[in-house]
Amino acid sequence: MMNYLKSEWYRVIHGNELYRMTGILCAVVLAMNVLLYAMTFTDDTFPYATVRFSLSNLMYTLTALFVLGSVLAAMLYADDRKNGTMKNAIVHGCSRTSLFIGKCIVSLAAGFICMVVVLVVYIGSAALLLEGPAVEPSVDLLVAIVAALPSTAAIVVLAVALDGFFSKTTSAVVAFVAIVFVIPQAIAIVGMRYEPIAELASWLPSVLHGYNVGVFPLDFAKPWEQAFGWAKCMIVGFGWLAVFAGIGLWRARRIEL
């Protein structure tokens, strides 16, 4: 497995997927902060050219981490079956279990590196260009990200598992959107009428870190600040990580190459 990890990491480092994803996201967050800064030249009373407002755009849409992490995993491994990479690895003695675990590890490591670089650009450009204190909003954002990291890891593992379930990327994308967003939000909507269903929905990652958080600039129900909030964030994240990893491993042993 170590040889497979080394070869995959070598491929990632010498490929362009990670750099392309990181560059695009850095450009997006930088452009957003530049735009907020530029607005102050046209309107002296523009109220949103602040570090807090800029960083709140990510803090209150943490499910974006789910999508971006899964997109990066798809970019890294979508063509594995078409290119025969999996067959070659198995022929050279790598087990199907090791293949799945290796893909998850590489995807998570690449995603973490991408996130760190983008956050440096995001927070740094906000602090340099925008008004208001930078330390407190930055700490708030980092705390929110840490709370959502286990759930994000679970969703990335799900994306890798779904890639093994379906021979076509389109089918995997549809299943991903349904499992991660459509079904949880449908349950949450039903939960507006029935309290037990609402409690059930709150244990789903996209509901916990999305639906319950609210919409700016309303008051937010940050899950990590509620009673037992940190414990719940960790249980939800690592619990679903175990579920998705188990399903992925089960499927990996049965997939037709």
Q: Which residue has the higher pLDDT, 10 or 92?
A: 10
Range of the domain at 94: 2-252
> Does residue 183 belong to any structural domain of this protein?
yes
Lowest average pLDDT, out of 17-21, 52-56, 238-242, 253-257, goes to 253-257
Q: What is the Rg, in whole angstroms, of the alpha carbon atoms belonging to the chain? A: 20
> Does residue 257 belong to any structural domain of this protein?
no
pLDDT value at residue 8: 83
In angstroms, rounded to a whole number, what is the distance separating the alpha carbons of residues 187 and 234? 21
> Does residue 204 belong to any structural domain of this protein?
yes
For residue 134 the two structure tokens come to 């930078």
Most confident option among 1-5, 75-79, 114-118, 195-199 = 114-118
> Does residue 126 belong to any structural domain of this protein?
yes
Per-residue model confidence as pLDDT tens digits over 23-64? 999 999 999 999 999 999 988 888 899 999 999 999 888 999
At residue 211 the predicted structure's pLDDT band, cuts being 50, 70 and 90, is low
Per-residue model confidence as pLDDT tens digits over 234-249? 999 999 999 999 999 9
Instruction: Tell me which amino acid residue 123 is.
Output: I
> Does residue 212 belong to any structural domain of this protein?
yes
Q: What does pLDDT average to over the chain?
A: 87
> Does residue 208 belong to any structural domain of this protein?
yes
Is residue 175 within 8 Å of residue 168, measured between CB atoms? no
pLDDT value at residue 219: 46
Q: Which helix (H) or strand (E) holds 110?
A: helix 96-129
pLDDT value at residue 257: 52
Most confident option among 24-28, 79-83, 229-233 = 24-28
> Does residue 194 belong to any structural domain of this protein?
yes
At residue 84 the predicted structure's pLDDT band, cuts being 50, 70 and 90, is low
Per-residue model confidence as pLDDT tens digits over 119-173? 999 999 999 999 989 999 999 999 999 999 999 999 999 999 998 788 788 888 9
Domains of the chain: total: 1
> Does residue 24 belong to any structural domain of this protein?
yes
Residues in a beta bridge with 50:
131
Return the closest-CA partner of residue 236 out of 208, 197, 199: 208
* pLDDT at residue 223 tops 70: yes
Is residue 256 within 8 Å of residue 171, measured between CB atoms? no
In this structure, the number of other CB atoms found within 10 A of the CB of residue 185 comes to 16
Average pLDDT for 198-216? 76
Q: Which residue has the higher pLDDT, 219 or 178?
A: 178
pLDDT value at residue 135: 95
